[in-house]
Amino acid sequence: CDGQRPLCQTCREGSHECVWDVPIGITRQQLGKRKALELEKSSTSLRNVLDLLLYGNEADALAALRRIRHNEDVDDAVNEIQVAQTLLDTSTSTVGIGISSTILPGRPSSPETFRPPKRMITSPDCRIEKDFLYAQDQCVEKDVCVDVPNLKLDIAKWTNACSDNSSMNHLLNLFWTWDNGTERTFHRPMFEEDLSTCEPSQSDMGQHAFCSPFLVNATLALACLFTTNTTAFTMSEDPKTRGRQFAEEAERHYAREKLLPSIPLLQGQFAMFCYEGCLDSGTKSIGYYSGMIQTYKLLNNHEILAARDADKSKERIRREREALSWVMWGTYCTEWRATIALGFRKQTSKPLIDKLWRSSESSPSTPGSADRWSSPYSMSVEKQMSMEIKVREADCHLSAIVEDVLDFVIPNTNAGSKPPTTDPQRAIYLYNELMTWKLSLPEGLRTEDASTPSTVLLHCDVEIATIALLRPFSNLEKSDFGPFNPRDRCYSHACSLAYAIWTFRSVAYLRFEYWLTYALSTVAFITLDNCHQNPPQIEALLKACQCLHETTSTLPLAADVLSAIHGQIKRSRLVLPACIMRFFTKDIWHRKDGLLHYSVANLMPNLGAGKQGTAQQLQLKVLLDELEQLTVD
């Protein structure tokens, strides 16, 4: 019935009473669409609440069940829970992130009683960490359950450096979210389980568990890299002292724990390597790096792995072996990112333990696992799939190729290996392996749809490895090398690396990403060569310098790299545009003993020198020393 005539044609032909049961002003078709939308919305709400009951933690599930039982109208209860989840899922662009001003029924809504945080991310110099530390408490009633899997851990028993569990839990959440290097060596569920259930006084705890006082303090020290809160500073005016109290506590425990190889020792050494390298002494950092390599080699044998299985339940054995697999393979994949910067061959061999995370019972695969999700704490709680399993599988494959690359370009002189330039065909084969890996990545990891920090960093890693492979050959002509000109291809991959880092800058937080300082130096040193004749190289160099400049306020590593770039510009008497030279001011200073002083400056070899040409394997320290001897305008 169309509501326009007393008796419509359809009713007349069927001898039916013509009844118009649709509100005035809309058609029956519009009413049907409206009801379908309402039904779909109701179904979605019910499904979300069911997921919460099935996969949420026990406290949240019980809170939801109580809310449903105590409400006379089930639909109202479901809607209240859905509203709470909607509040937490609210997000805006990466340029300005805020909290929705929508408030639950019964909450004060006047400007005097509730104000959303005003501070927004408008530049790299702006940080909203403090404003959003208690964002959930500002927006959600205490008795409304929200499926955010953050545990409140009793960390104070593991350290004498701090007694505030709230601030230390906040630091750990920053670490899980923003660290994209050391975090790969952790199995978060087992670490949190042993942190909660073990006691620091247990004599064998550090050897057979996944937590120890050294590891906890080292992790908290590294987590302080991601905060600008002065409470984390030893000296309130000096950001380079942030986390120092945890680092000193870790050093005290290290003297005892380093006597026996253990998983916490391995992870703690890696964390202290990164912390000391970023903020303090390069010499001390290298010491932790050497210890980490030695610990890995001791742990990577069948006897050590089997010794952990005694006197444990079957469930604990399963989860422990899964955690061992995750940690060992994570270390294997992460170690080469430091090794390649220092100019070494890959120091770790493939783990003997299988890739047990492929099991459906693996922690990152379960819906309730924190590793399953990626959310930019503390700026927003918008979630997306972390694709942790896909990233780890791709990372393992890439690391195996990189091991072959480093063994090739850094020959073992003691074994009589020849320079890589004598075998261009091997270089072409490895180059094809890297490109095949890149082009065969699964959906979600490819360049066009990578949207999480870990997925974008995969593309940074493959570009770094490709440049390391091609750079020794970039003094050869195409006729001497093979299917392409290695020098031009090296420039192209440096520009691609700059593009990947620029993408990371837009989806994550660049100022604390210490792993990218070496990548940025690679872009700069490669593109400095002959850049006045190649505008894309100028653009890539400009992006690299801009990223380093943004990072100097939080990471001394970036200032060291900028100073080394300036040293190479002076050394080569390059004339560059003012838009680039503005980054090299007198305010940029460098340290005397930074970690990147020991890294290799990826300078291009002399063109036309043939297979005997030099690859200019200079350490950054040489450029920094020369800069000190030059007169800076």
Q: Each residue of 296-347: pLDDT tens digit?
A: 999 998 777 666 656 677 888 888 889 999 999 999 999 999 999 998 999 9
Assign 3-state DSSP to the chain and report helix, strand, coil percentages, each to 5.
60, 0, 40
Contact between 79 and 38 (Cβ < 8 Å): no
Residues 66 and 181 both lie in one domain: no
Residues 315 and 224 both lie in one domain: yes
Q: Each residue of 142-171: pLDDT tens digit?
A: 333 333 455 689 999 999 999 999 899 999
Q: Decide if 57 is inside a domain.
A: yes
Contact between 567 and 591 (Cβ < 8 Å): no
Q: Decide if 323 is inside a domain.
A: yes
Helix (H) or strand (E) holding 135, with range, is helix 135-139
Compare 334 and 589 and report the one with higher pLDDT.
334
Q: Which of 374, 403, 435 lies at the terminal end of a domain, its last residue?
A: 374
Give the C-alpha separation, 10 to 228, whole Å: 73
Residues 58 and 171 both lie in one domain: no
Q: Is 439's pLDDT higher than 50?
A: yes
Give the C-alpha separation, 565 to 582, whole Å: 13
The total number of residues written for the chain in this structure: 633
Q: Decide if 578 is inside a domain.
A: no
Residues 358 and 241 both lie in one domain: yes
Q: Which of 312, 345, 374 lies at the terminal end of a domain, its last residue?
A: 374
Give the C-alpha separation, 142 to 129, whole Å: 22
**% the chain with pLDDT above 90:** 40
Residues 64 and 195 both lie in one domain: no
Q: Decide if 81 is inside a domain.
A: yes
Instruction: Give the pLDDT band (50/70/90) at residue 258.
Output: very high
Residues 86 and 163 both lie in one domain: no
Phi and psi at 525, nearest 5°, equal -70, -35
Q: Decide if 148 is inside a domain.
A: no
Mean model confidence pLDDT for the chain: 79
Q: Is 518's pLDDT higher than 90?
A: yes
Residues 368 and 292 both lie in one domain: yes
Q: Is 138's pLDDT higher than 50?
A: no
Lowest mean pLDDT among 66-70, 254-258, 406-410: 66-70
The CA-atom distances, in angstroms, between 78 and each of 45, 69, 546 are: 7, 11, 49
Instruction: Give the pLDDT band (50/70/90) at residue 233.
Output: confident
Give the C-alpha separation, 504 to 115, whole Å: 32
Q: Which of 374, 397, 421 lies at the terminal end of a domain, its last residue?
A: 374
Q: Write down the pTM of the prediction.
A: 0.74
Residues 241 and 355 both lie in one domain: yes
Per-residue pLDDT at 23: 64
Residues 53 and 179 both lie in one domain: no
Range of the domain at 276: 156-374
Per-residue pLDDT at 207: 60
| Per-residue tokens: 135 | 């964002």
Report helix angle 556-572 to 516-528, nearest 10: 10
Coil, helix or strand at residue 9? helix
Residues 307 and 173 both lie in one domain: yes
Q: Decide if 37 is inside a domain.
A: yes
Lowest mean pLDDT among 99-113, 296-310, 440-454, 478-492: 99-113
Q: Decide if 85 is inside a domain.
A: yes
Instruction: Give the pLDDT band (50/70/90) at residue 91.
Output: very low
Give the C-alpha separation, 238 to 258, whole Å: 31
Per-residue pLDDT at 294: 96
Radius of gyration of the chain (CA): 29
Strands 617-619 and 600-602 turn out to be: antiparallel
Strands 373-374 and 384-385 turn out to be: antiparallel
Q: Each residue of 542-581: pLDDT tens digit?
A: 999 999 999 998 899 999 999 999 988 988 888 899 999 9
Compare 586 and 534 and report the one with higher pLDDT.
534
387 pairs with which residues across the strands? none
Contact between 498 and 540 (Cβ < 8 Å): yes
Number of domains composing the chain: 2
DSSP sequence for 15-67: T------S-TTS-HHHHHHHHHHHHHHHHHHHHHHHHHHHHS-HHHHHHHHHH
Q: Is 31's pLDDT higher than 60?
A: yes
Residues 180 and 71 both lie in one domain: no
Q: Is 222's pLDDT higher than 90?
A: yes
Give the C-alpha separation, 262 to 298, whole Å: 9
Residues 162 and 290 both lie in one domain: yes
Lowest mean pLDDT among 200-209, 538-547, 591-600, 605-614: 605-614
Q: Decide if 262 is inside a domain.
A: yes
Instruction: Give the pLDDT band (50/70/90) at residue 264.
Output: very high
DSSP sequence for 444-512: TTSTTT--SHHHHHHHHHHHHHHHHHHGGGTTS-HHHHSSS-HHHHHHHHHHHHHHHHHHHHHHS-GGG
Compare 590 and 148 and report the one with higher pLDDT.
590
Per-residue pLDDT at 122: 39
